[in-house]
């Protein structure tokens, strides 16, 4: 599908409610499936990735039903039951595959995790290696899916990761939930902590000390969960509001977890006009509304180090923001962008150059010389990557000429409501 985007000449105004957080939606299904009892999950994500998780746990014997479009009733005995052929599809979802591998490694049955063509190219060594240290038996082809997991008892480990990754951390904590002894996971910088917050909310024996998390074998308590809005989805609207003249709108119900709000810190460093309103705690997560106003004089900044785990998914749209900021914006220490749905560093660089962005590819990021007029007038390739497709859409709103985005249907993987909400503000 090719999507054509025209320059927005009248500004974005009004109010939208951002869809539910995908990271929390994944975990709500997984953790509630491991808890004995019945609970309600409200505001569940409509993204295809989260439905991959939902369908997988249905195959594992968990009773999951929708009571309306966004509300789930989950009833579990606290134990998983192998499906008829023990083969479970994760679709396009790296979160599903990496986290579920930690759950399945310690079961008393064997299983196989498969994925689509894109997921089968993504690296799984980062979870296979520490799980193996815990006693897991996992076979693969060059550390890529499918993963053949021989379920057996696990033991705790003290693991220091070279990479700050919420998916790796969550995988090992979930394995530790069903392992003998303590499991300690330490990372260079604190990555998103939805797993720690939700496990604590559900009664796990879990302790956080700086960059280290310790978990012991625990039984989870079934509790109702309300999923707050996704700040990664809100990021596209935040950037659009800052760069489209005459914009002024409010985004409601945005998850404001400190390990995910790096986009707000960067926007403020760049002089962006954002205001945080109505902060509150919902099911253990901080939530707020965000007012965004057009900012004429954006300035460049450097994004590096501990910034990166807090905004790794937002870097493609931050590149669009940087193109409209005065000076040179530098992104570094972000080499893991090359291991996403696409090589986001190379693909972003190649495509943004087509419409007039002055961007230089680096091994671990990119450099953008900003405040350049975007000429548009080109067809951009999404590379089957939903975040690239939506970032290019935002760039199209300030391009002099129409741009076309090839493969725009991939936005439905994470954000099927994206275009509808953008049109609501237009």
For residue range 248-264, list pLDDT tens digits in order. 999 999 999 999 999 99
pLDDT band, residue 129 (cuts 50/70/90)? very high
Q: Pick from 116, 74, 117, 80: which is nearest to 100 by CA? A: 80
Looking at residue 204, what is its pLDDT? 97
**What b-and-e string marks burial along 102-136, b requiring 16 or more CB atoms within 10 Å of the CB?**
bbbbbbeeebbbebeebbbebebebbbebbeebbb
Residue 179's SS3 state is: strand
pLDDT band for position 414 (cuts 50, 70, 90): confident
Active site residue 313: yes
pLDDT > 80? residue 104? yes
Residue 178, pLDDT > 90, answer yes
Q: What's the mean pLDDT in 328-346?
A: 94
pLDDT-based confidence at residue 41 (cuts at 50, 70, 90):
very high
Q: Which residues contact 198 (CB under 8 A, 6 or more apart)?
A: 24, 27, 28, 31, 225, 283, 284
Q: pLDDT value at position 341?
A: 87
What topology does CATH give the domain 22-226? UDP-n-acetylglucosamine1-carboxyvinyl-transferase; Chain (3.65.10)
pLDDT tops 90 at residue 284: no
Residue 303: what pLDDT? 98
Distance CA 383, CA 99 (A): 25
Q: How many residues does the chain have?
A: 426
**Matching fold, domains 2-20+228-425 and 22-226:** yes
What are the boundaries of each domain within the chain?
Answer: 2-20+228-425, 22-226
Check: CATH 1.20.1260.10 for 2-20+228-425? no
Q: How far is CA 362 from the centre of its chain?
A: 23
Q: Single out the catalytic residue among 313, 333, 336, 350.
A: 313
pLDDT band at 26 (very low <50, low <70, confident <90, very high): very high
């Amino acid at each position: 599908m090719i999507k054509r985007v025209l320059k927005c000449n009248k500004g974005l105004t009004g109010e939208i409610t951002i869809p539910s957080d995908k990271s929390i939606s994944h975990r709500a299904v997984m953790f509630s499936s491991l808890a004995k009892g019945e609970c309600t999950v409200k505001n569940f994500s409509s993204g295809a990735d989260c439905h991959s998780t939902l369908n997988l746990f249905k195959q594992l014997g968990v009773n999951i039903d929708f009571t309306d479009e966004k509300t789930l009733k989950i009833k579990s005995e606290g134990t998983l039951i192998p499906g008829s052929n023990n083969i479970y599809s994760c679709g396009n979802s790296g979160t599903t595959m990496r986290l579920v591998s930690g759950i399945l490694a310690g079961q008393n049955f064997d299983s196989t995790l498969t994925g689509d063509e894109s997921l089968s190219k993504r690296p799984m060594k980062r979870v296979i290696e520490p799980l193996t240290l815990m006693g897991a038996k996992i076979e693969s082809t060059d550390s890529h899916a499918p993963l053949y997991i021989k379920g057996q008892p696990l033991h705790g480990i003290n693991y220091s990761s070279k990479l700050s990754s919420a998916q790796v951390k969550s995988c090992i904590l979930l394995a530790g939930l069903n392992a003998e002894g303590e499991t300690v996971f330490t990372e260079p910088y604190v990555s998103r902590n939805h797993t720690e917050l939700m496990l604590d909310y559900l009664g796990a024996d879990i302790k956080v000390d700086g960059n280290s998390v310790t978990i012991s074998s625990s039984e989870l308590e079934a509790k109702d969960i309300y999923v707050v809005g996704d700040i990664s989805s809100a990021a596209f609207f935040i950037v659009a509001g800052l760069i489209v003249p005459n914009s002024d709108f409010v985004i409601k119900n945005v998850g404001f977890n400190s390990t995910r709000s790096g986009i707000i810190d960067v926007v403020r460093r760049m002089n962006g006009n954002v205001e945080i309103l109505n902060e509150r705690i919902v099911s253990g997560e901080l939530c707020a509304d965000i007012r965004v106003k057009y900012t004429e004089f954006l300035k460049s900044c450097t994004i590096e180090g501990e910034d990166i785990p807090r905004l790794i998914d937002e870097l493609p749209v931050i590149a669009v923001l940087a193109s409209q900021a005065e000076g040179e914006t530098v992104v570094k220490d972000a080499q893991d962008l090359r291991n996403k749905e696409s090589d986001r560093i190379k693909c972003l660089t190649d495509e943004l150059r087509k419409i007039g962005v002055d961007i230089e590819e680096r091994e671990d990021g990119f450099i953008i010389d900003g405040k350049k007029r975007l000429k548009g007038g080109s067809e951009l390739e999404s590379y089957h990557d939903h975040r690239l497709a939506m970032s290019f859409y935002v760039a199209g709103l300030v391009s002099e000429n129409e741009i076309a985005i090839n493969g725009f249907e991939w936005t439905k993987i994470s954000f099927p409501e994206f275009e509808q909400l953008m049109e609501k503000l237009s």
